[in-house]
Every structure is written in structure tokens, then in C-alpha cells.
Structure 1
Amino acid sequence: MAGSGEGVVGKNKKKAKSNGTSTGSANGTAPAGTHDEAAGGDDAAAPRDEQRPTLQRRREKLQSRMRALEAAQQQVSRLEQDLDDTARTAREQESALAAATARVARLEQALLAVDRRRAELQSALEEVRSDVARARERAAAAERKYDGAVLAELVRREKAVDLALHTP
């Protein structure tokens, strides 16, 4: 398979040489150890792809691909780590949310209990105020009766004194 592609590349390189242009590597950059003619490179000092041995070109391609593989594996590792971190963070946040939800439920129950207690206290307060009003009325009635009794006693004493003084 590499042989069939190599023939096409070889033909293109020959055309490029006859046109005076450089094809570079497959990714559009000049391979290591070569210079671009436009940059003022020396043809005699810089070996072309077709001048380098096939084994060297394949070694360089293998090394390049191995570096790319290693970089891709590192990126996979980073992404897996990020994914694990994200999953851990999500679990922690779900746990915190569950705790907060439970706390909200407890606080709502506490609010309901406080509302019930407030209603009980208001009812008790109304009863006590009613009892106080009745007690005031009874105390006022008792005071009126006492006042009447004191006046009756005073009148009786004064009457007895007056009769004793004026009786012959």
C-alpha cells in the first residue's frame, strides 16, 4: 500500500523539481534536515526527500507518528482525568444538594411546628385575655358589693351612735 502512494509522490516530486518548487512533506512542512529554496537554502547541502534513503524517511515518519500517538495518548489521559474530576465534582455536588434538600425539608417542618405553636399560643392568649376580662368584671362586682356593705355598716354604726345620743 505504501508502494502505490510512493510512486505518485515520486512523480509529483519530479514535477516539482522540474518546476523549481518544493513539495515538502505530506503535511505541508519541510521535513527535518531540509531547507526551502525560497528561504535561500543550498540545494547541494540540503538533501531532498528523493535523495534520502527510504529507510530513513520511514524511520522519521514512524518517529513522527509515534510522537503524535504519544501526544494523543496524553490528551486522552488528560481528558479521562478531567472526566473523572468532573464526575467526582458532580457526585460531591449531588451529595451536597441532597444534604441541602434534607435540610430544607427539616426547616420546613420546623416552620410548620412554629406556626402550629404560634396558633396554640394565640388561642391561649385569647382565652387568658377573656379570663382576665371576666375576672375584672367579677372584681368590680365584688368591690361594689363590698362598698355597699361598708356603707351599710357605717350607716348602722352612725345610726346606733345617733340613736344612743338622742334617746332619753
Structure 2
Amino acid sequence: MMMKHCIFNTIGIAAALFLGSCKPAPPTAAPATPVEIGQRIANAKAPLTLVHVWATWCDPCREEFPELVNIHHTYAGKGLELILVSADDPAATAEVEAFVAEHGSPVGSLVATELNQAFIETLSPDWGGALPASFFFKGGKIVSEWEGKRTYEEYAQTIETLLKP
């Protein structure tokens, strides 16, 4: 009986160690209202938050996406939080999740449930709605924004400037 108990304990410990060493689940995509997106921006812990609006059907967005993954890898430990927001139809959440995972993004993507004036004003009343679009926030307040595809170097220059005290 004692031997049986030891064997089960050993198996349990081995299983716990194995499960503990597994990689975390891949990033997900989750629908979000304009209010939820605004709360996410307001609750960001990093000194600088980059909110990037994109879509799987947008060619410039697809081309630029690897640059954003690299920007995250470079600046996440230096004070940048990346929030991805897809403008895809919420019914395409699975496609958004697959695209994000395929590109090795360590962060998931929100999927905007409403592409309306409330959504635009959550990010910037000056935004014309073009994709891709990037919005930089400090303390929940917008400090820079742009529309259109950018290079890694353009992102890096803007981020380094905005991270300066």
C-alpha cells in the first residue's frame, strides 16, 4: 500500500512539473466595445501605450504587422505597451486570432465590435478612419498618432522620442 501511494505521488509530481513547464497559450483575439478599449488604454501600466488599429483584409496592415511584433520585442521591457485592435468583423475573430498567432505576436488582439464615432473618439477625434492607424498614449492621453504603414525605424524613432522624460 505504501509503495502504491509513493508511485501515485511520484506520478502526480512528474505531471505537475511537466504541466508547469508547458508554454503559455498562444495569444487570443477578443471582441471589445469602444468603452472596453478606452478602459484598456486608461489602465495601461507602461509609460507609453501604442494602440495599433489594423485588419486582416488590409494589405498594408498585413505587411506592417511583423514590424509591430519586432517593436514589441524591442520596447516591451523599456516602457512600451502594445495594444492591437482589429477592425475586422467580430464574426472573423478566429481569423484574427490565427493571423496574430501565425505572425508570432506575443500579444493578442482586441476586435472592435463597433466601428463608429464612439470608436474613433476613443482613440482620437482627428482620426479619419484609415488603416493601419497608430495612436500613442501617455497616462491615457494621446500624444502622437498617424495613419498609414510605417517602418520599424519610424516606430523606433517615435517611441524613443516619446519615452524620453
TM-score range for the pair, normalised by the shorter chain length: under 0.3
Specify which structure has the bigger relative contact order, considering alpha-carbon pairs within 8 angstroms and separated by 6 or more residues: 2
- Larger proportion of strand: 2
Q: TM-score, normalised by structure 2?
A: 0.20
Q: TM-score, normalised by structure 1?
A: 0.20
- Larger proportion of helix: 1
